[in-house]
Amino acid sequence: MSNLTREETDALIQEVLEVYPEKAKKDRAKHLAVNDQSVTQSKKCITSNRKSLPGVMTIRGCAYAGSRGVVWGPVKDMIHISHGPVGCGQYSRGGRRNYYVGTTGVNTFAEINFTSDFQEKDIVFGGDKKLAKAMEEIEGLFPLNKGISVQSECPIGLIGDDIEAVSKKAAAQYNKVVVPVRCEGFRGVSQSLGHHIANDAIRDYVLSNRDGKEFEGTPYDVTIIGDYNIGGDAWASRIFLEEMGLRVIAQWSGDGTIAEMENTPKAKLNLLHCYRSMNYISRHMEEKYGIPWMEYNFFGPTKIEESLRRIAAFFDDKIKEGAERVIAKYKPMMQAVVDKYKPRLQGKRVMLYIGGLRPRHVIGAYEDLGMEVVGTGYEFAHNDDYDRTIQEMGNATLLYDDVTGFELEEFVKRIKPDLVGSGIKEKYIYQKMGIPFRQMHSWDYSGPYHGYDGFAIFARDMDMTLNNPCWGKQTPPWKKTEATEEVKAAA
């Protein structure tokens, strides 16, 4: 199917909105838009970061998920207590496959679920004692931990526990970093506020710990911020940053440690990958320590090249040469990947609905393979994210913010993309509809997708999914008629 024109896309949005009651319709209409590259201010065409409508199926998470699951969770040598009932923690425990090196349970803990397991009596009488007890147990059982963070679940805020006091006492007692995080799930409209709260906690309890202390720096110290090392993403990025002569002194927070976080203010440049979840702390470091930050994109060779040159521009000629050397070295390898997969993927159309930075960052990687992104949207973006997206997307393509289950399904039915990339909750629906699908939050148990090495895997995975023979076998042989055969041939 050919691409829709602006009018057709507009009409499609109107049609999909038809089923809603008047008020809901008005509200949802603001979150759906036809991309127009001439608009520089996204707020003129799309509204974001608003409360989801009751009654619709949203895919968002809560502030606790943003802090525990995304920002703090991957810090491997700390223990993160899911403070409150046991359930919340179960789903935010290493499920994103934030890879790390270490011996789990001995000196690293990212995959273990620690919780204070609130019961009725804790709600009634308060859970501060229980928290102190949990910390004591942690110290006894896992003495090699480098710190503890207290990730509040909803009840903590509701019953008014004083986790700050407990943490302060424990920090003095054990002589470790103990961070209370007020990320109760009811705060804000999505996980996004959880990122912000988590960033603020890092600012208040971690960042300045080594101020004034000796650090053997080099002029080429950089950090990777906002890469959660999903399937090894941060490693695939780090490898060629080091190859071009930079020294990566911290990884936030995939495969990260508390010591790295404390050393971050010594860096010369903060490289920011996920703008949405860690711009706050980068801005803070820029103001307090004068460290510039830069957003980069390591999806697909075109964007990597662009990013490497922009990173190198912050440094002297040695790094600039290093960047060119790295680009030249990988060029033939990337060309081989493109030569192999482009003919198989050329012209295929993709619709995305993800979070964080991916709805705009992966566009380049698809374009490198000759594919086209015809619709994209974020779960929890703010206007500044859409500002950055509008330029990346083609004209008259579809933008959807906090899209509902129903809307996305209808859009897909009409636009008929060749591939949908979204989360696990969508995966089986679309696969049953007969549409190839990739789970793009944790790379469908594959990865890494960042960097040069990642692009090869990305290309292979897309090919594997799109050109999988199973899509031609949706109709069982006994139901096949001449007509369906013809339809297949025509499609």
Partner 1 sequence: MANIMIRKNDQGGLVFYLPKRDLEDNISSIEFDSPEKWGGEIKLANGGSYYIEPQVPPERLPVTIRAKRLDAPD
x/- map, 168-207, ligand SF4, by CB under 6 A = -----------------x----------------------
Considering the rule CB under 8 A, would residue 306 count as an interface residue with partner 1? no
Q: How far is the CB of 28 from partner 1 (least distance, A)?
A: 18
Closest CA to 307 of 316, 322, 292, 294: 294
The active-site residue out of 28, 31, 33, 62 is 62
Residue 142 contact among partner 1, ligand SF4, none, beta carbon within 5 to 8 Å by kind: none
- Chain residues 432-491 in contact with ligand SF4, contact rule CB under 6 A: none
Distance from C-alpha of 360 to C-alpha of 346, rounded to nearest angstrom? 20
Q: Is 195 a catalytic residue?
A: yes
Q: Which does 70 bind (CB under 5 to 8 A by kind): ligand SF4, partner 1, none?
A: none
User: Across the beta sheet with 114-115, what order do the strands follow?
Assistant: 114-115, 78-83, 147-152, 177-181
Residue from 13, 16, 34, 62 in contact with ligand SF4 (CB under 6 A): 62
Q: Which of partner 1, ligand SF4, none does residue 431 bind (CB under 5 to 8 Å by kind)?
A: none
Choice between 88 and 457, CB closer to ligand SF4: 88
The reply on whether position 88 binds ligand SF4 by CB under 6 A is yes
Contact in structure between 241 and 265 (CB atoms under 8 Å): no
Scanning 281-289, 415-423, 425-433, 449-457 for contacts with partner 1 by CB under 8 A, the matching segment is 281-289
- The neighbouring-strand residues paired with 178 are 148
Token pair in block for residue 470: 């199973």
Which member of 96, 187, 238, 349 is catalytic?
96
Nearer Cβ to partner 1 (313/424): 313
**By CB under 8 A, what part of segment 34-53 binds partner 1?**
40-41, 43, 49
Query: How far does CA 27 lie from the centroid of its chain?
Result: 26
For ligand SF4, which is the closer residue by CB, 188 or 356? 188
Indicate the residue among 51 and 416 with the shorter CB distance to ligand SF4. Answer: 51
SS (H, E, C) the chain: CCCCCHHHHHHHHHHHHCCCCHHHHHHHHCCEEECCCCCCCHHHCCCCCCCCCCCCCCCCCCHHHHHHHHHHCCCCCEEEEEECCCHHHHCCCCCCCECCCCCECCCECCCCCEECCCCHHHHHHCCHHHHHHHHHHHHHHCCCCCEEEEEECHHHHHHCCCHHHHHHHHHHHHCCEEEEECCCCCCCCCHHHHHHHHHHHHHHHCHHHHCCCCCCCCCCEEEEEEECCECCHHHHHHHHHHHCCCEEEEEEECCCCHHHHHHHHHCCEEEECCHHHHHHHHHHHHHHHCCCEEECCCCCHHHHHHHHHHHHCCCCHHHHHHHHHHHHHHHHHHHHHHHHHHHHHCCCEEEECECCCHHHHCHHHHHHCCCEEEEEEECCCCHHHHHHHHCCCCCCCEEEECCCHHHHHHHHHHHCCCEEEECHHHHHHHHHCCCCEEECCCHHHCCCCCHHHHHHHHHHHHHHHHCCHHHHHCCCHHHCCHHHHHHHHHC
Total residues contacting ligand SF4 by CB under 6 A comes to 7
In this chain, which of 142, 280, 406, 471 binds partner 1, going by CB under 8 A? 280
Whole-angstrom Cα distance, residue 374 to residue 232? 28
Closest CB to partner 1 among residues 66, 256? 66
Q: Is 442 exposed, middle or buried (0-12, 13-18, 19+ CB in 10 A)?
A: middle
Name the minimum Å distance from CB 290 to ligand SF4.
36
Q: How far is the CB of 167 from partner 1 (least distance, A)?
A: 24
Nearer to ligand SF4, 185 or 256 (CB): 185
**To the nearest whole angstrom, how small is the minimum distance from the Cβ of residue 187 to ligand SF4?**
9
Annotated active-site residue 88? The verdict is no
Task: Single out the residue of 3, 209, 302, 383 in contact with partner 1 (rule: CB under 8 A).
Answer: 383
- Mark whether 62 is an active-site residue: yes
Q: Which stretch binds partner 1 (CB under 8 A): 282-290, 315-323, 403-411, 434-442?
A: 282-290
C-beta of 284: minimal distance to partner 1 in Å?
Answer: 9
Whether 183 is catalytic: no
Q: At its nearest, how many Å lie between ligand SF4 and the CB of residue 193?
A: 12
Q: Which of residues 197-236 bind partner 1 (CB under 8 A)?
A: none
Residues 136-155 touching ligand SF4, rule: CB under 6 A, are: 153-154
CB nearest ligand SF4: which residue?
185
Q: Among ligand SF4, partner 1, none, what binds residue 153 when CB lies within 5 to 8 Å by partner kind?
A: ligand SF4
Question: Which is the catalytic residue, given 195, 238, 360, 382?
Answer: 195
Check binding of 286 to partner 1 (CB under 8 A).
yes
To the nearest whole angstrom, how small is the minimum distance from the Cβ of residue 94 to partner 1? 28
Contact 348, 1 (CB under 8 A): no
| Interface positions with partner 1 (CB under 8 A) | 40-41, 43, 49, 196, 280, 283, 286-287, 290, 382-384, 387
Contact residues for ligand SF4, defined by CB under 6 A: 62, 64-65, 88, 153-154, 185
Q: Which residues are catalytic?
A: 62, 65, 96, 195
